[in-house]
Structure 1
Amino acid sequence: MVKFLDWFKLIYYIELRNPKATNTLTGFDLVLASQQMASFDDKWYYGFYSIYQILLRLPLFWLLQGR
């Protein structure tokens, strides 16, 4: 669903089960990311704040936040 709504391609996806991808991420907590949604915006965020950061990048949700 997120890929479909990401019209401007602002979200980059990384496979958690791919060690080549996750080993290159500075400050990334793989254990926490396997339990909660993770996102990056100058630093790593997990959980509900991460979901909020993702929604900020989806144009359809801009209407809900008054942008």
Structure 2
Amino acid sequence: MAYVHIDDANGFYDAEQRVVKVDISSTPNEKRSVVAHELGHVHHGHTCGDGRDGACLRRLPPSALD
């Protein structure tokens, strides 16, 4: 897992590097949710191309974790 700056998502699974990348500016609740979601991709063997297509991106609306 790596914390990085991501402009358009809270996180994604980079299948080529086999790394879950999480936006460094996400809140702790968002980070937990993103990691759980992305580990689902890992568990199910999703490759999603380069890890940046819509199927692997995790976008959260501000109210999602209220």
Name the TM-score, length of structure 1 as normaliser.
Answer: 0.28
Structure with bigger strand share is 2
Which structure is richer in relative contact order (CA contacts within 8 A, separation 6 or more)? 2
Identify the structure with the greater helix proportion. 1
The structure number with the bigger radius of gyration is 1
